[in-house]
Amino acid sequence: MGVLPWSCRCGLNPSPSKSRGAPARPPPATRGRRSKYTGQSVRVMPMRVLTVGKKRSQGTQLLLEEYKEKLGHYCDVEDTLIKSNPKLTSDVKVQIEAEDASMMQQLKAEDFVVVLDENGKDLISEQIADLIGDAGNTGSSRLTFCIGGPYGLGEQVRERADATIRLSSLVLNHQVALIVLMEQLYRAWTIIKGQKYHH
Ligand SMILES: C[S@@+](CC[C@H](N)C(=O)[O-])C[C@H]1O[C@@H](n2cnc3c(N)ncnc32)[C@H](O)[C@@H]1O
């Protein structure tokens, strides 16, 4: 059987025993389950998630509340919904610029800004824990995550980013991205605290 066309690009092969390429990630048994901050005291900064969008679905809101409560055991968490397409324009460029300006208004100089983008840096969960710990050492006073609307984030926010990360190589709906991010932030804190959630 020939190698599937996508296997060389992503490093995965449907039949690992016949694979010639390196796997995209190390197998779980060899992956570290700890962050460099596991078991250490980390400066706790409030977290905020900025999302561009319209009214959230009930399901998203329920899950969001659940993760806000879980995360709230470790740090203050705030979520802010930025109105999508405030100018009600049909020009995509104008829409992105208006959403970009609204998001920039929310960002303060003392924010450590993490932009979520499907082309961002690929992190494993332990590295999200590292990111939280590292951000606490920068002198920033708040950790802010930015999720774009249907056409993504604008130039100003992208340039303001202290880090740009991705949650998957797939493009996610902004509500899905929000929930995945919240779960990963909760997971990251359990990694820092050495708790049993992550194994
Ligand atoms: C529907 S996506 C927008 C996709 C659009 N192609 C773009 O240029 O960003 C809405 C937002 O969800 C977030 N998002 C979607 N997929 C993501 C992924 N795989 N990793 C991280 N964030 C993602 C990003 O913040 C993105 O701006």
Identify whether 186 is part of a domain.
yes
Taking only the tens place, the pLDDT of each residue in 52-104 is 999 899 999 999 999 999 999 999 999 999 999 999 999 999 999 999 999 99
Q: How far is the CA of 102 from the centre of ligand 1 (A)?
A: 17
Identify whether 148 is part of a domain.
yes
Q: How far is the CA of 46 from the centre of ligand 1 (A)?
A: 23
Decide whether any atom of ligand 1 lies within 6 Å of the 155 Cβ.
no
Q: How confident is the model at residue 10 (pLDDT cuts 50, 70, 90)?
A: very low
Identify whether 152 is part of a domain.
yes
Decide whether any atom of ligand 1 lies within 6 Å of the 150 Cβ.
yes
The CA distance from 117 to 171, in Å, is 9
Q: Ligand 1: which residue has its CA nearest to atom 5?
A: 152
How many Cβ atoms from other residues are within 10 Å of residue 13's Cβ?
18
Task: Give, for ligand 1, the residue of 115, 171, 183 to mutate: max count of ligand atoms closer than 8 Å to Cβ.
Answer: 171
Decide whether any atom of ligand 1 lies within 6 Å of the 180 Cβ.
no
Tokens encoding 184: 């990963």
Taking only the tens place, the pLDDT of each residue in 135-181 is 999 999 999 999 999 999 999 999 999 999 999 999 999 999 999 99
Alpha helices in the chain (DSSP H): 7-10, 58-71, 92-106, 125-136, 155-160, 174-193
**Atom in ligand 1 nearest the alpha carbon of residue 168:** 19
Identify whether 161 is part of a domain.
yes
Domain that holds residue 109: 47-193
Q: Is the ipTM of this complex over 0.95?
A: yes
Domains in the chain, number: 1
Identify whether 2 is part of a domain.
no
Decide whether any atom of ligand 1 lies within 6 Å of the 152 Cβ.
yes
**Atom in ligand 1 nearest the alpha carbon of residue 148:** 27
According to DSSP, the β-strands at 142-147 and 111-122 are parallel
User: What is the CATH classification number for the domain harbouring 104?
Assistant: 3.40.1280.10
Identify whether 26 is part of a domain.
no
Identify whether 34 is part of a domain.
no
Identify whether 73 is part of a domain.
yes
